Each structure stands twice: as C-alpha cells, then as structure tokens.
Amino acid sequence: MQVTYWLEHAWLDPVVEPGVAVEVAGDGRISAVRTGVEAPPPGAVVLRGFTVPGLANAHSHAFHRALRATVQVGSGTFWTWRETMYQVASRLTPDSYHALARAVYAEMALAGITAVGEFHYLHHAPDGTPYDDPNAMGEALIAAAAEAGIRITLLDTAYLSSGFGAAPDRHQLRFSDGTAEAWAERCSALKERGHARIGAAVHSVRAVPARELGTVAAWAEARRAPLHVHLSEQTAENEGCLEAYGMTPTQLLAEHGVLGDRTTGVHNTHLTDGDIALIGSTATGTCMCPTTERDLADGIGPAVVLQRAGSPLSLGSDSHAVIDLFEEARAMELDERLRTRRRGHWTAAALLRAATADGHAALGWPEAGRIEAGAPADLATIALDSVRTAGAVPRLAAETAVFAATASDVRHVVVGGRAVVRDGVHALIPDVASALSTAVAALR
C-alpha cells in the first residue's frame, strides 16, 4: 500500500530540513522526497520530531542480552566475562533462542534500529551434535527478526578452534562445524528472503586456523556477501598470533585474502601502524562497539586514524550492555576526546553516517540508510521535546540526537514503509519488557 510520511524535521545527509514529505511505493521503497512542505499533505502520516534513516546495528550477539547486569558483579577481564557467557550459551535451544532474539530485536526496534548484523556462532546442540535442521539456530534468528519487524544480516560464523589450532573445548563444541568446508556446506543451505541477507564471519584468528581462512573468504567472495571478523580485540590474541604464525592478526588475514571492501573488522583495537595501513589500503571496514569495549576493559580502538587511512566506520552494540546507537556514536567521539584531550574528531553528521548508511553498507544493504528515492523506507524519529532534547534548535537536531538523545527518545520507527514503532510502542510486540523478562528468566 502506498503511503506518505510527513517529517517535521529530517536529516537529509548532511543537513537538517524542515517539512519533508516522503512518498513510499507499494514495494516499501521511497518513491519521492519533497522538501519545503510546510504542513502535512492530506492523508499523510505525521512524524513529529527529528527523523533519520533507520539505524544499522552492525555487530550483535543476541544471546549476550541475557548477561546484562549479571556480568557487572565483581571484577575481572574479558576472559573471566567469557566464562559467564559460555554458561548462558550452553542453555540455549532453538526455541529459547528464538524467544530471546525476538525480544532483543524488538528492543532494537524501539531504539530506532531497523537492521542488525547478527554475528552467529551458536550452531549446534551443546555437545556439538547438529540439530535435525543443521541451521535451526540461524533460522530461529531470521524468524525472530521478521517477527520484531527489522531486517537482519545473518553473519554465519566459522568457529573451529579453542585457540590457534587447538580443538574446541567443551563450551565451544556447539560452535564448531569441524572444518571450514563443513561450515560452508551448512551455511550454503541458508536462504535469503525479503528481510534477511546471509553473510559470513571468521570468529577470530584464534578460532579459525590459518589454513581454513581462505575457505571462508572464498565462500563470501563467490556470493559477494559481507564478511566480518573479530580483529585484535585483545592483546592476548595478538601475542598468540605472533607466536603461532610470526605475524599480527591483520597480516594473517591479509595473507589469506580475508581483507577487502566487503570485509569489516570488529573492534580493531590493538593495531600496529602497519595493520592500520593494511586495513585502510584494502578499504576494510571497522565496526566500533564502544559500550562493550569499555565494559570489557578492552581498550579504545584507533578509529580516527583508521578512517583517515580509508576504513569506513560502522557501529554495533555487541554484548548489549546497552542497546543504544546514539550512545555508541557519542562514545566513539567522547572516548577519543579522553585519549587525545581534544574535541571534535567527527561531526554529528559523520557519526550519524556511521550509524546509518555506512552501517547498512557493512551489512550488505548498500541501498539503505538514507532518505532518498529508491532507498528502503526505513525511518527513525527522535523526540525533540523530551527532558534530554527539549530546547534544541531544530537546525542542530543532528547534534542533539548524537550528543544528548538516548534510545528512550525514539518515538516512531518505520521499516519498509510499515510502522513498527508508534508513539514509543512496538506495533508487533506491545510489551517488549515482559518478553525480555520471560526470555531471560528461562535461561537462568
């Protein structure tokens, strides 16, 4: 059904325009964008506030949402946090994962996120036995996204080793297909559909031996699919890679054909100057996840120099300590301010671009993330009259969104021309909080 949305204020990169009419065709794509429309046209759906393209969460582990708060007790490192994560992972079934992911993706929709990149490695039963449908867990995630009303790129992940060729430990048995060829055979059975695209991932150089990397890269190349990889998240990973292969993780990935303009390195935290040059020269993307990186005490990645070198930036909520891409965007800037003691590394428009167009491109949706004819009609509207945003000058709405708003300020969300969130209420899952509570409680 054709529909017209009237946007009180809209971000038409790089400027804020008042009074924008967006016409949506029956296929859910924008057919026309008209500026200078001072009042809503007859029959138009009114979106008051500041409307931006739907946000892209480029890095998610949906089941980590069940860890919120429990992993904030005590102290430790990434490695101690990982033990708690393994316990939750061991309890998931296709049904319980579907229920949890459905609620998590609905939480994302409420936060203005219209597309998610799910870095998925919980493939099999806890003892490593494949389900009757070997892709039961991945299909559960695809179905969950549809029911929550958002798009998904399922980044089916190769995870074959507990570390640099060692066999998977008991926690990791369900992650492993044994070999990259077996991984490729299984995920080749996954089918794309209107709201879902299929990509690939190398969990890390720890978890995929060097001899297997080329198989994963070739699978993605043959399909022109996005390829993601956790890269240099931990110094221990760098040290182990140097010991095992005599080179950094970035150098190893480059040697085996993993880097490239459809590849995104997630975190890219502990890099050498040579690593940065390799990532930039190959146009490999960088997905920063600042709330997780600081929650796990990982460190601050060199996002500024990576972008200058040629690496496009995207954003993810990763472990879902919070689900708020406005927080991720401002955290990237504010963390850099702390490190350099200088302000203004990115404009608000540049940070919004990372959360929208560049995030969608990293997930294999290059046509999305902008308000223009031909793009999917994916929109998120932020209130400009909440206690956080009130008093904003409309022409500075982008700065208000990035540096003051939170996910709680999202009022309306449209995906493919269909209203998924209206007045802060999810249209498909009216009580998202209860759905989350029930799904998380089932895993305790």
Choose, from 64, 123, 230, 267, the residue flagged as catalytic: 267
Given a contact cutoff of 8 angstroms between Cβ atoms, the answer to whether 175 and 123 are in contact is yes
> Residue-wise over 422-431: b if at least 16 C-beta within 10 A, else e?
eeeebebbee
Which of 184, 238, 178 is CA-nearest to residue 214? 184
Place of tokens 């021309």: 417
Indicate if the alpha-carbon torsion angle 13, 284, 248, 199 is positive or negative.
Answer: positive
Place of tokens 């459809």: 262
Q: CA 367, 313, 272 angle in degrees (round to 5)?
A: 145
Q: Determine if residue 232 is left, alpha or beta; phi over 0 gives left, psi from -120 to 50 gives alpha, anything else beta.
A: left
Host H or E run for residue 339: helix 325-340
In sequence order, what are the residues at sequence separation of 6 or more whose Cβ sits closer than 8 angstroms to the Cβ of residue 225?
A: 197, 198, 199, 200, 219, 262, 364
Active site residue 318: yes
CA distances from 151 to 146, 203, 241, 407, 413 (A): 7, 22, 35, 18, 13
Count other Cβ atoms within 10 Å, centred on residue 334.
15
Host H or E run for residue 203: none
Host H or E run for residue 343: none
Active site residue 345: no
Choose, from 275, 295, 298, 318, the residue flagged as catalytic: 318
3-state helix, strand, coil in the chain (%, to 5): 40, 25, 40
- Give the amino acid at 192: E
Token pair for 278:
């390799």
Annotated active-site positions, please? 267, 318
